[in-house]
Structure 1
Amino acid sequence: MAVEVEHVHPHSTIDDDKIIRTGTLWTTVAHIITAVIGAGVLSLAWSTAQLGWIAGPVVLFSFAFVTYVSSSLLSDCYRSPDPVTGTRNRSFTDAVRVILGKKHAWICGLLQYLSFYGTAVAYVITTSTCMRAILKANCYHKEGRDGDCEYGGNLYMLLFGVVQILMSQIPDFHSMVLVSVVAAIMSFCYASIGFGLGFAQVIENGKIAGSVTGYPAVSVAHKLWLTFQALGDIAFAYPYALILLEIQDTVKSPPAENKVTKRASAIAILVTTFFYLGCGCSGYAAFGNDTPGNLLTGFGFYEPYWLVAFANACIIVHLIGGYQVNLHYLT
């Protein structure tokens, strides 16, 4: 008796839901880096300045470790009840519904949407700020640092929205690989530029600025406020739990999806922490207590203006891709 054999792509798998998955370790790393590294990496110098030379790096490493542990635990929830052979939970909400019940799924779903709303607002504002920073860099180069180089941001917010409407026509998360790869490359570019400019400024200054205790606040209450703000900035810069299972759902098997995701998380967090430490420490070493809120849009550096403008353009491209990665989680 003849048996019909379904032809399957040699580098993919068809599972219980009949979806072809082609994700690999490196596409997973690209998705995670796109979701994690944002323009916030350039504000970590300010966060380090509030905490000082000891607490700053320690907090960065601590959050990196917590993020890896939490992502490893969550990756085992992709399949249940067995993390290798169980039924797929294709989203965080699905996993909560299966493991904890519908009531908890509703609560977690609401919190996820609120979190994405805040992230989306931050992306829109940051993109607009970067567009204005490009114009300012050129203006300061021509007019000098005392030039009148103020620009409105509403038009650029609208432009960002138009681009996102067009980008949202990408059919599904499995089609986001190229977007994530380009966005990850952009994040490497602007983070490296921020790192390099900070290091160059330290060499030019001939000394390492900063102190063990960080920014000398005017009072204990003020210091606590700045410290908690810095901790919040660093904490916000790491987690990607909201879309980890969606990313894991793109991975082919064998090997088991949770093993690939754990390894990808380790690689992505190591890369992320390297750039976070580089930008945070080099920026603080360069400016000390005068560290700006953002090394590039806050104009800690004015020259070379073309490099500052290019770095901000890289931020824009990355945020466009990062917004889409988060958006596909919701849809």
Structure 2
Amino acid sequence: MAESWKEEGEVEKESLDLEETDGHTRTGTLYTATAHAITAIIGSGVLALPWSVAQMGWIIGPVTLIACAIVTYYTATLLCDCYRTPNTMHGKRNHTYMDVVRSCLGPQDVFICAIAQYALLWGTMVGYVITAATSMMAIDRSNCFHKKGHKAYCSTSGNLYIILFGIIELVLSQFPNLEKITVISLIAAAMSFAYSFISLFLCVFKLASNHTIQGTILGGRVGDDISQSTKVWHAFQALGNIAFAYTYSMLLIEIQDTIKSPPPENQTMKRASLYGIGVTTIFYVSIGCVGYAAFGNHAPGNVLTGFYEPFWLVDIANVAVIMHLIGAFQVYGQPIYAKYEDYLSRKWPESIFLHKQYRVRHPFSKTAGFRFAISKLILRSAFVVLTILIAMMLPYFNAVVGLLGAIAFWPLTVYFPVTIYMYQSKIRRGQLKWVMLNLLSFVSLLVSALAAVGSIADIVKRLKHATMFKTRL
């Protein structure tokens, strides 16, 4: 017995020593990892789910929601096992998604992964700005309708709200890394629960007041309000919306790199993924299906914009969306900051501009204060400003969400996790598991291609009738 305890102590000490070898002490737990996961998964995509189900109908819509959840969780478990190379307690840590690809695949795959991952992260930040502004405008409009009546003209511009959101993110972007925004991430996760519950409640209330279930087996009917081509493009776009709603893999390794051990990080991260994806799937299926049952084939692109009463509850839901997206914007932005700052630091290791730290003392404490580098202050601020400007130019919620889902789903959620797992597990060509994993990859590629076509077609159509830098609701 004594020897057994000694061995456990030695293993724990060895593991703790290993924590320090890369100069990074990890403090993350199952709870913080789950919070980060929920914050990363639940985002603007949930608000588009009733519309997405409406484009495919009562059979294909719910099946797609559940299928995407299963695929996302399965590939997430594969990716968790690739955090260390090889997958043992003493394996080399891969701190980012790209590090995993670099450890197992060639430079060409690293380049493709970099384009897909960072395009998605940045695109998602753009989408979050659009969604936050939409929620702010929805609050303004619901209050207008409450005061003047539902027949009043209550159009509102979103540019001011986009700028206000950008100012908040300019401040938060100066937090040094993902671990330092854990509190913000926890608040954001709580807010995601809040507006998901409220959205579901409002949909249930509307469904009950209708006294009948809306919707059809195959979604919107051609000839009623839409043409055949529009229905096809919207159905493809809906695939991208649902895929985007489950987007998570591109942040999984970064989240896993915050977890302390023992137990092994992959075990903790698999449980965090199960809890995160499981909870969000319950919300997604509930909101998507109940929202469709309530609105039918005329479900709005953002479900909260379909409600005006009770105005105070709708306002609370939209405020929760805004607070969630404030945190989620940083969860997606921190990996981008870390990547280009690491590149610049290695390229110019002696640069004072990049490396010199300044400290602003806290007025009520001699020890506390805020440290910053001029480079971070300037470069991060410029990045946030550029993101805000792009959001002003492309204020198309559903189309942008669908395109982001198309970009992410096959390469990041399926192809790289599957390919890396097969490499690390030494699965031979021709084995049953090899065949099944490649079949999964091919079907996912087809889904991504269809989603991209539908979303691009919708964006092109909208650009013909749009005015740049004029976001209205």
TM-score range, shorter chain: over 0.9
Secondary structure at 1:293 match in 2:
coil
Within a 5 Å distance, the mapping from 1:268-307 to structure 2 comes to 268-296=276-304, 298=305, 300-307=306-313
- Of residues 320-329 and 206-215 in structure 1, the stretch that sits farther from structure 2 once superposed is 206-215
Q: Which is greater in Rg?
A: 2
Q: Which residue of 1 aligns with 2:436?
A: none
SS of 1:253's partner is coil
Q: Helix, strand or coil: the match of 1:41?
A: helix
Q: Report the CA distance between 1:23 and its aligned residue.
A: 0.8
Q: 1:319 and 2:340 equivalent?
A: no
- For residue 210 of structure 1, the aligned residue among 210, 215, 225 is 215
AA matched with 2:291: G
Asked whether the equivalents of residues 12 and 252 of structure 1 are also in contact (C-alpha less than 8 Å), the reply is no
Q: Does 1:47 align with 2:52?
A: yes
> Equivalent residue for 1:225?
233
CA contact (8 A) 1:48 1:280 kept: yes
CA distance in 2, matches of 1:84, 1:51: 46
Q: Which residue of 1 aligns with 2:154?
A: 149
Query: Is this contact kept in 1: 2:42–2:280, CA < 8 A?
Result: yes
> How far did 1:113 drift?
2.1
The counterpart of 1:91, out of the listed 81, 93, 96, is 96
**Aligned pair 1:260/2:268, yes or no?**
yes
User: Given the alignment, which residue of 35, 38, 43 partners 2:40?
Assistant: 35
Partner Cα distance (2:152, 2:142) in 1: 11
**1:61 Cα deviation after fit:** 0.5
Deviation at 1:217, TM superposition (A): 2.5
State the identity %. 49
Residue aligned with 2:139, SS: helix
Alignment map for 1:173-212 (pairs within 5 Å): 173-212=178-217
Equivalent residue runs for 1:161-176 within 5 Å: 161-176=166-181
1:106: how far off?
2.4
**Cα gap change, 1:102/1:140 in structure 2, threshold over 3 Å: closer, same or farther?**
same
Unaligned runs of 5+ in 1: 1-7
Compute the displacement of 1:120 (Å). 1.7
- Amino acid in structure 2 at the alignment position of 1:307: L
2:315 to 285, 309, 318: 309
Q: CA deviation at 1:184?
A: 0.5
> Is the contact made by 2:122 and 2:332 (CA closer than 8 Å) also made in structure 1?
no
Q: Distance in 2 between matches of 1:322 and 1:40?
A: 12
Q: Distance in 2 between matches of 1:13 and 1:215?
A: 57
Unaligned runs of 5+ in 2: 1-12, 339-473
Give distance in 2, aligned partners of 1:116 and 1:259: 26
Report the CA distance between 1:83 and its aligned residue.
4.3
Residue 62 of structure 1 and its aligned partner are, at CA, apart by: 0.2
* Backbone CA RMSD of aligned residues: 1.7
What does the per-residue CA deviation read over 1:260-301, in whole Å, with 9 as the maximum and x for residues that have no partner? 1111101111100111011111111111122111111x2x21
Q: Whole-Å Cα distance in 2 between the matches of residues 213 and 256 of structure 1?
A: 46
SS at match of 1:175: helix
